[in-house]
């Protein structure tokens, strides 16, 4: 999915940034990014993919293996959380990753556009 209105700001946790974006179908994305992997500075758009198989990852892309560990309804949306080695990806919207079960492995690929 393509995400726009990308912002990146320092977190309260040292060396961690929060990447925030609005994605297709009114999906809100928030993602923890370590400063060593911050390839998103100055990007207006990003491409985010959630995959069951390990993707090929280029130089200007972030790829991580994680686990979907939380899914709850909130008003008319669903909040979904994925942990990539303790770094959290938060999605809020409808019909998000419904084919992935709790504690199922998932790959996250993010590329600045």
pLDDT in tens, 5-24: 999 999 999 999 999 999 98
Predicted pLDDT at 76: 86
Q: What digits encode the pLDDT tens for the residues 74-102?
A: 888 999 999 999 999 999 998 789 899 99
Residue 26 phi/psi, 5-degree rounding, is: 60, 45
What pTM, to 2 d.p., does this model score? 0.93
Residue 88 confidence (pLDDT): 97
Looking at the structure of the chain, the number of domains it has is 1
pLDDT of residue 74: 83
Q: HSE of 5 in the Cβ direction (CA atoms, 13 Å)?
A: 10
- Domain assignment of residue 25, given as a range: 2-112
How high is the mean pLDDT of the chain?
93
CB 8 within 8 A of CB 18: yes
CATH number at residue 53: 2.40.50.140
Pairing of strands 77-84, 27-34: unpaired
């Amino acid at each position: 999915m393509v995400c726009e209105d990308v912002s990146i700001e320092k977190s309260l946790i040292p060396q961690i940034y929060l990447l925030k974006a609005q994605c297709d179908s009114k999906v809100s994305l928030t993602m923890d990014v370590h400063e060593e992997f911050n390839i998103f500075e100055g990007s207006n758009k990003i491409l985010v993919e959630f995959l069951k198989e390990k993707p090929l990852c280029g130089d200007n892309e972030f790829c991580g293996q994680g686990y979907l560990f939380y899914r709850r309804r909130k008003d008319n949306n669903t909040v979904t959380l994925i942990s990539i080695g303790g770094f959290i990806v938060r999605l809020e919207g409808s019909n998000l990753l419904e084919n992935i079960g709790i504690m199922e492995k998932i790959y996250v690929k993010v590329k600045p556009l």
